[in-house]
């Protein structure tokens, strides 16, 4: 079917011009045969083709109008076709294209409904990939169709894609016109969204994933400030505050461990990070730092590293100043020392990063991008040096094989 449509389109775009010069009978018949083929391949049941076929039908009608004016009015009898036969063929094709055009015109205006119905059908049978495709196509043709937005919101929430939900909720409430039933569904979803978002963020906070919790509480804060809901209270604000104090306390915890182990530069650097974070975070204006008193540190004035040193091992973490990327120090602090303080914060993210790099490296190898694949496997191998997770045997294997290949 699609091959036939393709060839009919070729005929349409490359048909000989009949209207800029005098034509003979054979060219006239060829033109009508070409139009007949195009009309026959105008389909009404595939929403992917409806917009294109609507335009093709409109152009065929325009050509027929010109054909009647410039050819039929000046037609001379031919041996191959009589004038009566020509008129009958023209009328038949003209009626057929008008009928299809009328249907395509309505379908083109409502193609988003067809895509939406197909999405609902696919989702009913658990065909998530096809359902997502048709749903996105529906929103592509009508980005403010409430039913499609509500269905998309439900799918996004199932995947914990809270930020995307928030953006789409704004569209739903401020750009669409909902009927009573749609408004009820919107209110129901809004409450469900708040409840799941808050519980997820609160759970992360209790598990000491302060950075991840903060991201979700800030989404919740925007939600409560901009969307109509009676569900919000001060909980989200306390969540933001507790997340930020959690980040701050993590700096202090790492600094304390470094200080106890005699790594004075690392300790001073993290005390400095803590002070800067405290100064730049309005929520923590009156927060009392949780310091452990030691022989070297007996006040809330944090020491500052005064001599030039390499960057601390953690240059990024916890959102504004993250603590994930490992770098060398002239004075090393053992990796396991930091893991004793906040193991879940680092091990999980480091392992996820490692696994992602390995998969990307394998994909590049399959594409025969061997040099890039080798570089990524080397990056994964460096992460294994922490000895803090089970290494993937494929890393060493692929490094050996790729090294032979590249040599």
Residue 121 neighbours by CB distance under 10 Å: 13
Domain annotation covers residue 68: yes
Positive or negative: CA dihedral 25, 29, 35, 38: negative
Q: Tell me the HSE value of 48 on the side-chain side, using a 13 A CA sphere.
A: 6
Cβ–Cβ < 8 Å for 35, 63 = yes
Question: Taking the model in full, what pTM does it have?
Answer: 0.57
Render pLDDT for 110-125 as a digit per residue (tens, 0 to 9): 999 999 999 999 999 9
Residue 199 sits at φ, ψ, to 5 deg, of: -65, -40
Name, in order, each residue with C-beta under 8 angstroms of 372's C-beta and a sequence gap of 6 or more.
364
Domain annotation covers residue 142: no
pLDDT at 226: 80
Cβ–Cβ < 8 Å for 37, 4 = no
In this prediction, residue 318 has a pLDDT band, given cuts at 50, 70 and 90, of very low
Identify whether residues 33 and 8 lie together within a single domain. Answer: yes
Domain annotation covers residue 294: yes
Name, in order, each residue with C-beta under 8 angstroms of 181's C-beta and a sequence gap of 6 or more.
none
Domain annotation covers residue 187: no
Cβ–Cβ < 8 Å for 398, 361 = yes
Locate tokens 């040099």: which residue?
A: 371
Domain annotation covers residue 201: no
Domain annotation covers residue 143: no
Show which of 51, 84, 109 is a domain's final residue: 109
In this prediction, residue 139 has a pLDDT band, given cuts at 50, 70 and 90, of very high
Q: Which of 64-68, 91-95, 347-351 has the lowest mean pLDDT?
A: 347-351
Show which of 299, 329, 359 is a domain's final residue: 329
Distance set, CA 184 to CA 180, 227, 265 (Å): 6, 15, 59
Render pLDDT for 197-220 as a digit per residue (tens, 0 to 9): 888 888 887 787 777 877 887 788
Domain annotation covers residue 92: yes
Identify whether residues 54 and 30 lie together within a single domain. Answer: yes
**What is the DSSP secondary structure assignment for residue 135, as one 8-state letter?**
H
Name, in order, each residue with C-beta under 8 angstroms of 56's C-beta and a sequence gap of 6 or more.
9, 12, 38, 42
Show which of 303, 329, 355 is a domain's final residue: 329
Identify whether residues 297 and 396 lie together within a single domain. Answer: no
Query: Domains in the chain: how many in total?
Result: 3
Range of the domain at 379: 345-406
The C-alpha atoms of residue 220 and residue 53 are separated, in whole angstroms, by 45
Identify whether residues 316 and 357 lie together within a single domain. Answer: no
Domain annotation covers residue 40: yes
User: Percent of the chain scored above 70 by pLDDT?
Assistant: 68
Identify whether residues 90 and 27 lie together within a single domain. Answer: yes
Distance set, CA 381 to CA 343, 356, 358, 359 (Å): 21, 13, 9, 13
Length, in residues, of the chain: 407
């Amino acid at each position: 079917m699609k091959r036939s449509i393709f060839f009919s389109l070729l005929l349409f775009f490359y048909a000989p011009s009949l209207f800029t010069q005098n034509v003979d009978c054979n060219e006239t018949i060829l033109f009508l045969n070409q139009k007949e083929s195009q009309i026959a391949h105008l389909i009404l049941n595939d929403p992917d083709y409806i917009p294109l076929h609507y335009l093709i039908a409109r152009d065929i009608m325009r050509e027929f109008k010109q054909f009647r004016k410039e050819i039929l009015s000046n037609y001379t009898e031919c041996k191959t076709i009589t004038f009566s036969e020509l008129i009958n063929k023209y009328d038949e094709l003209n009626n057929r294209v008008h009928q299809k055009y009328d249907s395509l015109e309505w379908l083109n205006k409502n193609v988003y409904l067809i895509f939406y119905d197909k999405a609902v059908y696919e989702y009913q049978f658990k065909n998530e990939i096809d359902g997502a495709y048709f749903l996105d196509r529906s929103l592509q043709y009508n980005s403010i169709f409430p039913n499609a937005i509500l269905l998309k919101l439900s799918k996004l929430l199932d995947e914990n894609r809270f930020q995307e939900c928030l953006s789409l909720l704004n569209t739903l409430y401020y750009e669409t016109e909902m009927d009573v039933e749609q408004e009820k569904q919107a209110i129901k979803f809004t409450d469900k969204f708040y409840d799941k978002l808050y519980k997820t963020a609160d759970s992360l906070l209790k598990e000491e994933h302060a950075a991840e919790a903060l991201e979700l509480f800030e989404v919740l804060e925007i939600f409560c400030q901009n969307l109509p809901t009676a569900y919000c209270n001060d909980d989200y604000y306390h969540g933001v505050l507790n997340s930020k104090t959690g980040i701050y306390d993590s700096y202090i915890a790492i600094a304390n461990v470094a200080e106890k182990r005699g790594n004075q530069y690392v300790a001073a650097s993290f005390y400095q990070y803590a002070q800067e974070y405290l100064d730049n975070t309005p929520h923590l204006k009156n927060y009392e730092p949780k310091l452990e008193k030691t022989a070297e540190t007996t006040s809330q004035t944090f020491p500052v590293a005064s001599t030039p040193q390499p960057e601390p091992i953690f240059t990024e973490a916890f959102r504004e100043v993250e603590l994930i990327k490992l770098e060398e120090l002239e004075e090393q602090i053992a990796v396991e020392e930091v893991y004793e303080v906040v193991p879940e914060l680092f091990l999980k993210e480091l392992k996820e990063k490692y696994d992602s790099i390995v998969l990307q490296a394998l994909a590049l190898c399959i594409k025969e991008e061997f040099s890039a694949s080798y570089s990524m496997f080397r990056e994964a191998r460096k992460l294994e040096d922490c000895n803090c997770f089970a290494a993937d045997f494929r890393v060493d294997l692929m490094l050996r094989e790729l090294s032979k290949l590249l040599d």
